Amino acid sequence: MSQEPIGLERKIRTRQARIGVIGLGYVGLPLVKLFLTKGFRVTGFDIDPKKVASLNKGRSYIRHISTRELREFLGKKAFRATTGFAGLRLVDVIIICVPTPLDAHKNPDLSYVLDTTRVIARYLRKGHLVILESTTYPGTTDEEMLPILAETGLRPGRDFFLAFSPEREDPGNTSFSTGTIPKVVGGLTPACRRLAKLLYDQIIVRTVPVSSTRVAEAVKLLENIFRSVNIALVNELKIIFERLDIDVWEVIRAASSKPFGYMPFYPGPGFGGHCIPVDPYYLTYKAKEVDYSTKFIELAGEINTRMPYYVVNKTVEALNRRGKSIKNARILVLGIAYKKDIDDQRESPALKIISVFKEKGGRVSYNDPYVPRSAGHREYPGLDLSSVPMTAARLRASDAVIIATDHSVYDYDWIVRHAPLVVDTRNAVKKKRKNVIKA
């Protein structure tokens, strides 16, 4: 019998296992922090030299990871970041937290995962535990990753161990953090699952083992498809109720009084973040292999993707009623992050809103206290803006102010007092005001 599981298990239990995290973004960096706070030594790997240099100087680029914490671990020599992947030989556990975006046709782009797997294969050795956390379709771990790693001649489940554990990050959530959200774990073999579960048992409040990597991959998709479908439903109801002169927010509040059989979801200008706009299409793609068309999932995506256009059209109508054309209209967008009180712009509906306004000839600027600059987006290569100061004079000079993200730091009463027209996509303004429209 192979001794590799026994040796790795001993290292994990004693916190002597060295952890390698590939991808130091919104998923990878909080995971690095959690392992460090639990007494593990961690090496972070990333292809971006700017990120690596910043981290090694103790500077964080993610709002909820403090510079003070980073410098403390650097001082203890418990953490370092590198672009040199040869260092994978020196770690015991390799956790993959790289992007899994969609291509232009909304098909899964697994290039980051597969390229990373090929790099790992170069340095794979006996005793390695490799865990994928990036969201993907069922079968990625055992059908796509395993053949690459098995080409090394090392035996999965005996010489090295392979597992999938979906990330469940929720930036800005003050009730739950990486360590307090239960972790689903699926392994290629029982030994793989046991070791992966043991690892996360050291840092997570509760682990939830499942029978396979495919089940674990499907869990993440179910979670986000559930949210996507319900957000689409309430967004469609918003449009219908608006035409019936019914306040959808009042309806939701009243429905929320039912203590069973109902869960509130809230309308908005569209969905954002890496997960909800992307993950459902991973199952849509995989379902084609079994000759099934995911009409429900695709319809939800279509409704949610259309919401930024709804916001723009409502704004154009409101400007027209005031005798103002959208062409050369001064538009101020408040909030460019995809949700309140964070700095994450990934898939933010505000980006689409700004882009559409610009296409229509609007003069668009934005304010976001958490996002000083917005540039480098794959879908919006021409977008390069910096946050402008929000002053009473700027509000008065704007033809329309769009509340795209309801950051807590905004004083909405003050904004409404000074702006001639406010388009509220988040129900941030609770009282009815003559210069406020909901969208």
Over the stretch 184-211, which tens digit does the pLDDT of each residue have? 999 999 999 999 999 999 999 999 999 9
Task: State the Cα–Cα distance between residues 145 and 140, nearest whole angstrom.
Answer: 6
- Tell me the pTM: 0.91
Q: How many CB atoms are closer than 10 A to CB 388?
A: 12
Residues forming the active site: 275
Mean pLDDT over the full length of the chain: 94
Domain boundaries, the chain: 4-211, 248-438
* Angstrom distance (rounded) from CA 285 to CA 288: 6
How far apart CA 267 and CA 263 sit, in angstroms, is 13
Geometric angle at alpha carbon 395, from 334 and 393, rounded to 5°: 140
Comparing C-alpha atoms, which of 307, 326, 328 is closest to residue 242?
307
> CATH fold of 4-211, please?
Rossmann fold (3.40.50)
Determine contact, residues 417/394, Cβ cutoff 8 Å: no
248-438 matches 4-211 in CATH topology: yes
**pLDDT tens sequence for the chain (439 residues):** 466 777 899 999 999 999 999 999 989 999 999 999 999 999 999 999 999 999 999 888 887 787 887 788 887 889 999 999 999 999 999 999 999 998 888 889 999 999 999 999 999 999 999 999 999 999 999 999 999 999 999 999 999 999 999 999 777 777 888 889 999 999 999 999 999 999 999 999 999 999 999 999 999 999 999 999 999 999 999 999 999 999 999 999 999 999 999 999 999 999 887 778 888 889 999 999 999 999 999 999 999 999 999 999 999 999 999 999 999 999 999 999 999 999 999 889 999 999 999 999 999 999 999 999 998 887 888 889 999 999 999 999 999 999 999 999 999 999 999 999 999 999 999 999 999 999 9
**In CATH, which superfamily holds the domain spanning 248-438?**
NAD(P)-binding Rossmann-like Domain (3.40.50.720)
Q: Residues 351-365, buried b or exposed e (16+ Cβ, 10 A)?
A: bbbbbbbbebebebb
